[in-house]
Amino acid sequence: MEKKTILVVDDELKIRILLKDFLEREGFSVIESQDGKHALETFRCRGKSIDLILLDVMLPEYDGWTVCREIRKISEVPIIMLSARSEDFDEVHGFEIGADDYVKKPVKPTVLIARINAFFRRIDKVKAESRVIAFDGLEIDDSSHTVKVDNEEIVLSPKEYTLLLILVENKGKVISREQLLNLVWGYDYYGGLRTVDTHINRLRIKLGKKGDSITTIRGFGYRFEG
């Protein structure tokens, strides 16, 4: 497995150095940011390659809460908040706005690294799980990337496959074209919404009669019936 990249956001140079040092010794690659604004810019620019964010709460130029909320609007990247504030209220708040963990300062590097490793161990496991979705004659095997309709394998392009997966994972729910662009194409894609239509169209054709399961919700998006 390739190196994981961690973005460390803290205004104190001493802490950044301490963490960078420990993390790199553990085999992680580290990017640093000294304030909220810079962190957001960094993430917008290289978000795709960042596997985890260590985010201090007390920051100049947008505090940690703001940074967390802004990032959550565009990404589900794991975020661990670091905070000197030890109130329960703050901790709960951190989780509510989308953080994955909340660690109280002073941070002990050994403990933090144990947490990070445990976290990656868990999400890698979830990712690696061979997931098979099957119902009503439709079968999607995520580990082999194969799709079958009535036991007949059909070949989908990458975009078509991901599109189908997202729709089926959220079956019964309407997903807007904007959401689909985010989820399938990535939050940093700025193409036209019509592109989604075209791909839906091709997907429907390839799915044959199962294509009817993709319902158009005029004005709102698409929904997979299930």
Is residue 170 close enough to count as binding DNA by CB under 7 A? no
Residues 6+ apart with CB under 8 A from 198: none
Is residue 73 close enough to count as binding a copy of itself by CB under 8 A? no
Mask for 94-113, x = binds a copy of itself (CB under 8 A): xxx--xxxx-----x-xx--
Tokens linked to 131? 């997931």
Measured distance CA(90)–CA(35) in Å, rounded? 20
Residue 216 partner contact from DNA, a copy of itself, none using kind-dependent CB cut-offs of 5 to 8 Å: DNA
Mask for 173-202, x = binds DNA (CB under 7 A): ----x-------x---x-xx-xx-xxxxxx
Is residue 169 close enough to count as binding a copy of itself by CB under 8 A? yes
Q: Of 60 and 135, which CB lies nearer to a copy of itself in the complex structure? A: 135
Is residue 208 close enough to count as binding DNA by CB under 7 A? no
Q: Specify the stretch interacting with a copy of itself by CB under 8 A; choose among 21-29, 114-122, 190-198, 200-208.
A: 114-122
The number of residues that bind DNA (CB under 7 A) is 25
Tokens 């990656």 label which residue?
A: 120
Measured distance CA(7)–CA(34) in Å, rounded? 11
Q: Of 88 and 190, which CB lies nearer to a copy of itself in the complex structure? A: 88
Q: Of 13 and 92, which CB lies nearer to a copy of itself in the complex structure? A: 92
In terms of C-beta distances under 8 Å and separation of at least 24 residues, what long-range contacts does 74-78 make, across chains too? 74/44, 74/47, 74/182, 74/187, 74/188, 75/43, 75/47, 75/187, 77/43, 77/47, 77/50, 77/51, 77/52, 77/53, 78/51, 78/52, 78/53, 78/119, 78/123
From residue 111, give the alpha-carbon distance in Å to each of 8, 55, 82.
Answer: 16, 16, 12
Is residue 117 close enough to count as binding a copy of itself by CB under 8 A? yes
Q: Of 71 and 214, which CB lies nearer to DNA in the complex structure? A: 214
Residue 74 partner contact from DNA, a copy of itself, none using kind-dependent CB cut-offs of 5 to 8 Å: none
Task: Fill in the DSSP letter of residue 183.
Answer: I
User: Which H/E stretch holds residue 82?
Assistant: strand 79-83
Q: Specify the stretch interacting with DNA by CB under 7 A; choose among 37-45, 73-81, 101-109, 216-224.
A: 216-224
